[in-house]
Amino acid sequence: MSRMRGSDTSDTLSECHLDDRLWGYAIRGSEFWRNRDRDAWRDPVLSQLFKMGIFDWEGEDKLMHQAKQAVRVGTATSLRIWMRVLEIQERVGPAVVERWLFNN
């Protein structure tokens, strides 16, 4: 998380239209993804889902345009939640967060 502190991730982009806000959140998500602490990403399926939602698909896996925005909204929301989990983990320690996430 400390790598993201230089970016203003709390800016709601309220001056932008909704499509532009979503695009901005996706850009933030891609920045977070590229700068993530890879040790904190132990779930390869979750990592793949985030990757699928952030970046445009190419080739035979190309996503239909109608679904692209829904996928981006879900991914941007999930990444925002994950960023908060990592922030809390920094405060309370990884063992506490892992017990809460995986044992409930």
pTM for the predicted model, two decimal places: 0.58
Which is more confident, 37 or 9? 37
Instruction: Return mean pLDDT, the chain.
Output: 76
> Do residues 57 and 6 touch, judged by C-beta distance below 8 A?
no
The top-scoring range by mean pLDDT among 65-74, 80-89, 92-101 is: 80-89
Q: Are 27 and 53 in contact (CB under 8 A)?
A: no
Beta carbons of 13 and 20 less than 8 angstroms apart: yes
Task: Give the pLDDT confidence of 29-57 residue by residue, as tens digits.
Answer: 888 888 888 887 777 777 777 777 777 76
Helical spans, DSSP H, in the chain: 18-34, 44-54, 65-92, 94-102
Domain ranges of the chain: 2-102
Percent of the chain at pLDDT > 90 equals 5
